[in-house]
Amino acid sequence: MTAKKITLALLLLAGTAPALAETPKDFVAKYAAEAGAGFKPSAARGKELFSKEFGASRDMPSCTTCHTRDLKASGKHVITGKIIDPLSPAVNAERFTSAKKIEKWFKRNCNEVLGRECTPAEKADFIQFAIEGGKA
């Protein structure tokens, strides 16, 4: 392949990069589709999930234990003390834009707080709640 062809190919790929970017709404749609036909994401259900005390962990009974009740505020991990960036995409533009990070944190946090993995419906509801930036 000549240098001209390589340069052209790279320019074409670079021009499509923004089209490949994922947004929180893209993930809501993805999880809603996985939840099944007719499923409609609900910020109210997302808020309920976020606020509910599950009791699977004595140290982390609910999401709000570490994330606070305000999605626009920073949180703090109750065990490690690590600061957690806000969950609301309105104040944290990187939130819910990487499938790899979303799956990593849902898997870890749902298992710790709920005692199981979250369902696609719960993920869609929660991200919808985060997009709306509400308070629990």
Q: Given this model, what pLDDT does residue 136 score? A: 57
Tell me the two tokens of residue 126: 């929660």
pTM of the model: 0.82
CATH domain 21-132 topology: Cytochrome Bc1 Complex; Chain D, domain 2 (1.10.760)
User: DSSP states of 27-84 as a string?
Assistant: HHHHHHHHH-TT----HHHHHHHHH----S-SS-SSTHHHH-SBTTS-EE-TTT--EE
Residue 27, CB-side half-sphere exposure with 13 Å CA sphere: 26
pLDDT tens track for 48-69? 999 999 989 899 999 999 999 9
pLDDT tens track for 73-95? 999 999 999 999 999 999 999 99
